[in-house]
Amino acid sequence: MKLSFRWYGKDDPVKISYIRQIPNMYSIVTAVYDVPVGEIWSHESIAQLKDEVEKAGLRFDVIESVPVHEDIKLGLPSRDRYIENYKENIRRLSKAGVKCICYNFMPVFDWTRTQLDKTLPDGSTALVYYKDQLQKMDPLKGELSLPGWDASYTKDQLANIFEAYSKVDDEKLWSHLEYFLKEIIPVAEKCDVRMAIHPDDPPWPIFGLPRIITNEKNLDRFLKLVDSEYNGLTFCTGSLGSGSFNDIVRMVDKYSAMGRIHFMHIRNVKLLDDGSFEESAHYSPCGSLDVVEIVKVLYKNKFQGYVRPDHGRMIWGETGRPGYGLYDRALGAMYLTGIWETLVKTDSK
């Protein structure tokens, strides 16, 4: 298990020197953020980022993420230009030492929550997804500014994109994903970079947009589109675990045994009766997922990929990017390390 930590660069309130102080920390998960989606990352930007990470005593080998341009997901004629750019980004990152690239294929919106600062019983605040709140939201009114929502679109642009997606059902999105994979995976193989798709979050359609990386059946289908070890998963326990229909421990066991999980995002969620959910502390009793059992099956299958504590609460008065504070994610990192160390020592007796 290679412990890693998400860092948003110089604009991140969390200092990289603080991340380095978390015991057992192996690598930084980051990206170039000053390039428009779909364009090629400059050698200089990549080199500068690599230098910052390595000066802090950490490894620069995981990128999250290289975003997929909307034209690729829509299957527009312009997609080929953006796919060629994507291939070049893989090549450039490989030369810089990157071994794993996380990306997603979610139309328009990334991970979606309805509230940033829900106060939990212990006084901490967390990201939550309440279905009744979502039903009152209309993305076309331009009133939304939550994490996961792309604020780069104007109101008119967003309306045009929604109109384009009205012609894209699940099967067309699958077709567009297959086209993309058949272009990029051969490049990833040649460059020795493992591509790791992130599941849809939450794992069901929102606002009428299709979502397909949502459950075991669809993960099986995805892995067969291009049956290569370089075509793998970022297995996010919180994203897939937000759906009560997903058996997370069994799925982690299955895909890690296959060698198709390249990156683990481990976090916990508390599922509510109406299908809503609240993000919680990593500690297993705080949520609906058994984090101990998740780590146990990774250990059993000799998982050697990357793991990061995903999304934390805001605790101890910390402010900054919701879900990405230092303190709770550091606690999560140590919880995961403690479980792993216990398994190693127990196994050696």
**Residues identified as active-site:** 198, 236, 265, 310-311, 324
Encoded tokens for 114: 């309805």
Best CA proximity match to 180, nearest among 33, 263, 96, 81: 81
Best CA proximity match to 332, nearest among 19, 9, 15: 19
Residues 6+ apart with CB under 8 A from 140: 155, 158, 159, 162
Residues in the chain: 349
Residue 289 has phi, psi (to 5 degrees) of -105, 145
Q: What residue type is assigned to position 43 of the chain? A: H
Best CA proximity match to 140, nearest among 122, 125, 160: 160
DSSP 63-111: EE--PPPHHHHHT-TTHHHHHHHHHHHHHHHHHTT--EEEEE--SS--S
In angstroms, the CA 4 to CA 20 distance is: 10
Q: Report the relative pairing of strands 100-104 and 261-266 from DSSP bridges.
A: unpaired
- Residue 199's H or E segment, with its range, is none
What b-and-e string marks burial along 91-118, b requiring 16 or more CB atoms within 10 Å of the CB? Answer: ebbbebebbbbbbbbbbbbebbbbebeb
Residues 6+ apart with CB under 8 A from 31: 9, 63, 64, 65, 66
